[in-house]
Structure 1
Amino acid sequence: MSEKLNWKEIQKRFDQEWVELVDYEWDETKPYPSEGIVRVHSNNRKEFDRLILQDPPEDSALVFVGKRKRPENVVLNFNMRHQAR
């Protein structure tokens, strides 16, 4: 892919995926880049890591698009405390 996309377009096309951006613009005061070219994308982190190592560019940004979702059947209990007995 060589089309430069703005952040809203990246969110729409690559929701819940890892993306590697090249030729990107990212204001240091903002949490996300304003635009960039998606070089690599995958919804699987291991696959994404493998892909970004193939012919890596000199400069790129790695970003997860969307809100991370908790896997099914995972229960988080933030009220648990370890008590010494």
Structure 2
Amino acid sequence: MVTIRTPLMKLRQVRNETKFYPTEEMGSSYLDHYPDLAEQVMNTGSRHGLALMRGFFFWLQNNAHEDQFKPWVDDSKDHEVIPLAD
């Protein structure tokens, strides 16, 4: 799910409506948008990687809240990736 790339969609204004159509170019996946998350998921075991992905999707759903933190980043360490032990 996090590595899926979908075609970019463009829109065209036609008279009184908007038409959407796919392009040949592929969009970016979640791991492309968040390389620090990708690095953390690749460097941890499957159990911790799954926990990171659950935290990531929770963060995406609640991103609009002011005090929301990124579960894979520790703010006290200048935005370094939190190491997880297996």
Does the pair score TM above 0.5?
A: no
TM-score normalised by structure 2 residue count: 0.21
Identify which of structures 1 and 2 has the higher relative contact order when contacts are C-alpha pairs closer than 8 Å and 6+ apart.
Answer: 1
Q: Identify, as 1 or 2, the structure richer in helix.
A: 2
Structure 1 length normalisation: TM-score?
A: 0.21
